[in-house]
């Protein structure tokens, strides 16, 4: 086979491959994957995460987040970057890989009571100081003013108004049909 023949053979193989890739991309463009809602809450995945001034590694680090599992609100997206807001109102951009989907909340205000049931007169399970990060277990529709959390092994119910990390009226977890 001559060099010219090899070139022709290579082109004939590439053209169908390009056509297949183009068709796959066109199909994906017609039926894009379901996007996650914005705003939404997620949590920090690592002990140290750079909060940048813009969506990319070339933007300067404006702040360093040092609380693993701290809840943050995703307020904007750009490519693989997420603009987030923390419970104190600080905003900046982080790489999507620095976030995880598991939910957490922060206790706000003053020392708060965790109860054994979603009622103000239920048995006291523990007390949580402001700034405590807890895993969110549930905020059911049947008790819209209460959420169940796990704060360092102490599981109990806390008023929704005493934590940060939920959208207004959000039911968690979302019921699946």
- pTM for this entry: 0.79
Provide the pLDDT for residue 33: 53
- Tell me 111's DSSP state: -
The domain covering 40-102 belongs, at the CATH homologous superfamily level, to SH3 Domains (2.30.30.40)
The domain ranges of the chain are: 40-102, 105-164
- Cα 55 to Cα 93: distance, rounded to the nearest angstrom: 5
How does 147-174 read in b/e, with b if 16+ C-beta sit within 10 Å?
Answer: bbbebeeeebbbebebbbbbeeeeebee
Q: What is the pLDDT along the chain (177 residues), one digit of tens a residue?
A: 222 222 333 333 333 333 343 344 333 334 445 689 999 999 999 999 999 999 999 999 999 999 999 999 999 999 999 999 999 999 999 999 999 999 999 999 999 999 999 999 999 999 999 999 999 999 999 999 999 999 999 999 999 999 999 999 999 998 766
- Cα 36 to Cα 175: distance, rounded to the nearest angstrom: 16
For 105-164, the fitting CATH number among 1.10.10.10, 2.30.30.40, 3.90.1010.10, 3.30.70.890 is 2.30.30.40
């Amino acid at each position: 086979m001559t060099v010219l023949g090899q070139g022709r053979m290579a082109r004939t193989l590439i053209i169908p491959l390009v056509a297949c890739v183009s068709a796959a991309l066109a199909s994906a463009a017609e039926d894009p994957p379901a996007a996650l809602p914005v705003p939404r809450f997620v949590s920090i995945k690592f002990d140290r995460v750079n909060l940048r001034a813009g969506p990319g590694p070339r933007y300067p680090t404006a702040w360093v987040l040092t609380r693993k599992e701290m809840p943050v609100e995703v307020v904007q997206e750009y490519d693989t970057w997420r603009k987030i807001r923390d419970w104190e109102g600080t905003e900046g951009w982080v790489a999507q890989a620095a976030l995880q989907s598991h939910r957490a909340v922060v206790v706000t205000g003053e020392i708060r009571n965790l109860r054994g049931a979603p009622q103000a007169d239920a048995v006291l399970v523990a007390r949580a100081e402001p700034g405590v990060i807890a895993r969110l277990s549930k905020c059911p529709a049947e008790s819209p003013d209460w959420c169940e959390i796990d704060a360092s092994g102490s599981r109990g119910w806390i008023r929704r108004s005493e934590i940060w990390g939920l959208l207004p009226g959000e039911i968690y977890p979302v019921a699946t049909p």
